[in-house]
Amino acid sequence: MPIYDSIILTGGNGMLAHALRRAAAHRGHRFVALSRDECDIAIDSHRLNLFELHKPTLLLNCAAHTKVDLCETDRERAMLLNGHAPGLLATECKQHGTTLVHYSTDFVFDGQQSRPYREDDPPAPVSVYGESKLLGEQAIAHVNPPNYLILRTAWLYGRPGQCFPRTMIELAKQGKPLRIVNDQHGTPTLTDDLAAATFDLLDRNASGLFHATNSGSTTWFDFTAALLEEFQVNTSLTPISSADWKTLRPQSATRPANSTLDLSKLQQTIGRPMRDWREALRDYHQQVQSHGF
């Protein structure tokens, strides 16, 4: 891996940032993780202070508006934080010779394709969240800071933090019945595996756009069934369609029917596939048993 004198993480208290912090420490890298209060990337003075005070040679941008449904009604904030601010970060990175790593989403696709999506497939987001994240990708690529990486990932979960697995297990332990969509396909991705892939790519001086998820594909319903099995929790679990969910939650964002990502480019670059999502889920369960959610 290139030598980075100063590694900075924005969104430093988030779920992905915690995994990156663990991965960086494990590999012997020194870093500074900045919370949103310490560095809101949408505020000009915060961005300027980041570069003046810390002089990062590597910037891992985990700051984002990730509440997909809320983005539908909070479009301005989503576009600012997910779209425009990453471009402004990229501009600073280019001026200071800083490598930028940015995280995007499978939601840049409309989900109508039957095969997994490749990096060069045309994006067509069907939600404000997906639209805003695509804008961020385009802004960074347009600025073209040195050796930038954009990693599209999907269905991200990990600890510590609130995520789909934690919500499902907590509801199930309360005896709440679960009605889960069974016609959306994608890949649950453990934050620790995405963090490891990030540093593997940096080790190889990779740059540009990559898809980075765990291997395999499932539905939200089957993912939930696997969660209940893994955590040995019983509750009523019923499959429903996306249309049914939209009727129940008319303000919710539209999700792609198939957002499975093709991982060929990543595997060729780092020399291995990311492990199967079910194996990663077992690891997550062990982490929760040891440390809690």
Neighbours of 44 (CB within 10 A): 11
Measure CA of the first residue to CA of the last residue in the chain; give whole Å.
Answer: 31
Catalytic site positions:
129
Bridge partners of residue 61, in order along the sequence? 10, 102
Q: How far apart are the C-alpha atoms of 29 and 27, rounded to whole Å?
A: 6
Mean pLDDT of the chain: 97
Length of the chain: 293
Domains of the chain (ranges plus CATH)? 7-161+189-216+260-275 (3.40.50.720)
pLDDT score recorded for residue 1: 67
At 144, list the tokens.
Answer: 């073209």
pLDDT at 4: 83
Going by C-beta distance under 8 Å and a sequence separation of 6 or more, which residues neighbour residue 199?
Answer: 1, 23, 24, 27
Find the mean pLDDT for residues 214-235.
98
Distance of CA 14 to the CA centre of its chain: 11
What is the tens place of the pLDDT at every residue in 143-201?
999 999 999 999 999 999 999 999 999 999 999 999 999 999 999 999 999 999 999 99
